[in-house]
Structure 1
Amino acid sequence: MDTTEMTEATQETVQEINAFMQQIQNSKESLITFGFKVILAIIIFLIGRFLIKWTRKLVRTALNRSSVDTGAAQFIDSFLKFSMYAILIFTIATKFGVDTASVAALIASAGVAVGLALQGSLSNFAGGMLILLLKPFVVGDYIIEDNHKNEGTVKEIQMFYTKLTTIDNKTIIIPNAMLTNNSLTNVTAKDERRVDLKISISYDSDLRKAKQVIRHVLDEEPRINTEDEVLIFVDDLADSAVVIGVRAWVKTEDYWETRWQLLEDIKLALNDEDIEIPYPQLTVHTKNAYR
């Protein structure tokens, strides 16, 4: 490369650098303005987040003082959080020069499409509103969702979902629409629950004695409500056993412990009295074909 070519290359490089520096100089004011907008947006977001937390805390305190249902309080808190963060983001967007009228028009024109895309979420939101209004269950109830047989204690009722905790401490999240569009069983809706037991004894055992033994076990159980009728009856004459039915009422919170204890005590009491609890069996009689 000769001297002329090197000179031309150097001049071109210098011209490009000068053009780049001039471009930076021309856009310097715009960069500074954009930087101020970014800093302002961060400040607005931090202040807004603090105000949202403060407002939610204030609302929760007011709801607790007014003895509002726990599920309603959780739903309101979830809805308030979602709405206030949406407003905060919209406010920050306007600081970057986004035209509010254009945004409103865009939201209006996209409303149908968004509604179709989020129809499941909207159904869940509507389901949450119905749960709060009709109260098929509240936080703390033990429910069984009859469609998929999910069951557990209601811990949270949110905008779109309801959270259950199972007896083995698992968390089940069920869409609100599923709980309002399908049948469910609220196990703890009432203060009392009936314990239903079926005890099988052998056909060779003394039925009257077996009923007396079971009656004695029930009389010794302090959690059974003696004001309600306690029934001991023959439920079925099955193939391998006489099935004795037992019905008694207990407090809902005592149901499982009482049921487990009764089964154990009845089994031990029947053993002490030599009353057999048979297993399924089949007696086969054969005829001698040879004479």
Structure 2
Amino acid sequence: MLGGEAAAVVAGMLPVVDAGMLGVDEVVTTRRGKAIVSVLALAAAIGAAVLARRGRDWIADRFRPSVADVVVPIGVLAVFAAAVTVILDAWELSNDVLNVLGTPDGRTVPKLMVTGIIVVGGYVLTSAIRRLLDDLIGNSDAVTEHQREVTFRLSQLVVWILAVITVLGVWQVNLEGLLIGAGFLGIVVGMAARQTLGALLAGFVLMLSRPFEIGDWIEIGPDGQEGIVKDITMMNTRIQTFDGEYVMVPNDVIGSQSLTNRSRKGRLRLEIEVGVDYDADVDRAVELADDAVDDIEESLDVPSPETVIKHFADSSVVLGVRFWIDNPSARRRWRARTAAISAVKNAFEEAGITIPFPQRTVGGREDGGRDAAIGSEAPVPEAAGGDE
């Protein structure tokens, strides 16, 4: 196999490894000194990992980002390897570890080195893919942030799968049995996690169909969640409601219900209902409502406001005042509704048009042994054979 051949080449290039060639155990003989050396080695390794981020930016600015992608992980891996070697040598455990890892062909150390090279190569390749995606489609309006992130995650998954297969080849693991076991495991996991897999597939569908994006104002279902999309993952969508709550909705739930996107077109039509008295001039009321709404700041000129006669109510003729706003959001919607209601009310008051409230007229009739007066009983004739 390719991995085994690489390990053989590295083995031919390496000299015989002497487990105690550092000589740390000869310099530090007390347990306290060994403990101090171990702590210092661990601190150096952790410090290298912490400083790697700053060093990455510095190398990327001084040279090239690709150089930083290669140098930083190799440097961190080398520091960790050196720290482990120092600790093992200080506690005289190098020979024991090599005996445990030893193989008849003596290629354990080369295999470990090839494995480390593959791991670093996978990390470098995924970083290069991330930078390539940012350069190619980072400023494209046709590809959303969610689609770019999903594309990177899929590419990252493919790279690490290939890296794992290569590492297994280096260690000469039987892939046929492993693949058969993975197939049976996949069937069991698929049956046990149908809902999770459904959410995952729904995440791919959302990525391709793009019904909404981060920052859109959506409503899920006729009586479902409503709010602003804050994050989209492969498994769920996070929404911030107008009450300030964060709601996590599985993607399969979104895919199985109706979805309303109020931000997609960049504008939203609002409607308020107002009733006018039956004695009022309805045409005049329609004209006043149109002019009142047209004057508010939030209303768009195109499409222009429109008032329609909707239906007859118990005490009024109901008008529907419709107008449009741009860049819709919950705050703009309520602010526009409030301004429109105030403007229509003031216009009707100035024109003397009454907005009636529900009224009920109560009357009576002379029937069933009752007087015309409401609620009074008619006198009942005295029965024959009264008191003597």
Structure 1 residue 289: Cα displacement: 3.9
Mean Cα deviation higher: 199-208 or 123-132: 199-208
Residue equivalent to 2:231: 156
* 1:54 paired to 2:127: yes
C-alpha separation between the residues in 2 aligned to 1:243 and 1:166?
Answer: 32
Structure 1 residue 86: Cα displacement: 6.7
Q: 2:276, 2:354 within 8 Å by CA — same for their partners in 1?
A: yes
* 1:200 paired to 2:275: yes
Q: 2:216, 2:264 within 8 Å by CA — same for their partners in 1?
A: yes
Structure 1 residue 169: Cα displacement: 3.4
* 1:106 paired to 2:181: yes
Residue equivalent to 1:242: 317
Structure 1 residue 57: Cα displacement: 4.1
Mean Cα deviation higher: 237-246 or 268-277: 268-277
Residue equivalent to 1:259: 337
Say which SS state the counterpart of residue 182 (structure 1) adopts: coil
C-alpha separation between the residues in 2 aligned to 1:171 and 1:187?
Answer: 19
Q: 1:74, 1:157 within 8 Å by CA — same for their partners in 2?
A: no
Residue equivalent to 2:138: 64
Gaps of 5+ in 1: 1-24
Aligned-pair RMSD on alpha carbons?
Answer: 3.9
Structure 1 residue 72: Cα displacement: 0.9
Q: CA 1:98–1:224 in 2, change beyond 3 Å: closer, same or farther?
A: same
Q: 2:217, 2:262 within 8 Å by CA — same for their partners in 1?
A: yes
TM, length-normalised to structure 1: 0.70
Q: CA 1:100–1:242 in 2, change beyond 3 Å: closer, same or farther?
A: same
Gaps of 5+ in 2: 1-92, 103-108, 365-373, 379-388
Structure 1 residue 174: Cα displacement: 1.7
Residue equivalent to 2:191: 116
Say which SS state the counterpart of residue 253 (structure 1) adopts: coil
C-alpha separation between the residues in 1 aligned to 2:229 and 2:202?
Answer: 15
Q: 2:220, 2:260 within 8 Å by CA — same for their partners in 1?
A: yes
C-alpha separation between the residues in 1 aligned to 2:356 and 2:174?
Answer: 81
Q: Deviations over 1:2-38 (max 9, x none)?
A: xxxxxxxxxxxxxxxxxxxxxxx9x94577649x9xx
C-alpha separation between the residues in 1 aligned to 2:168 and 2:223?
Answer: 43
- Aligned length, in residue pairs: 264
Structure 1 residue 137: Cα displacement: 2.5
Q: 2:236, 2:248 within 8 Å by CA — same for their partners in 1?
A: yes
Q: CA 1:261–1:83 in 2, change beyond 3 Å: closer, same or farther?
A: farther
Structure 1 residue 145: Cα displacement: 1.0
C-alpha separation between the residues in 1 aligned to 2:158 and 2:249?
Answer: 22
Q: Which amino acid aligns with 2:219?
A: I
Q: Which amino acid aligns with 1:267?
A: K
TM, length-normalised to structure 2: 0.55
Q: Which one scores higher on RCO, CA 8 angstroms, separation ≥ 6?
A: 1
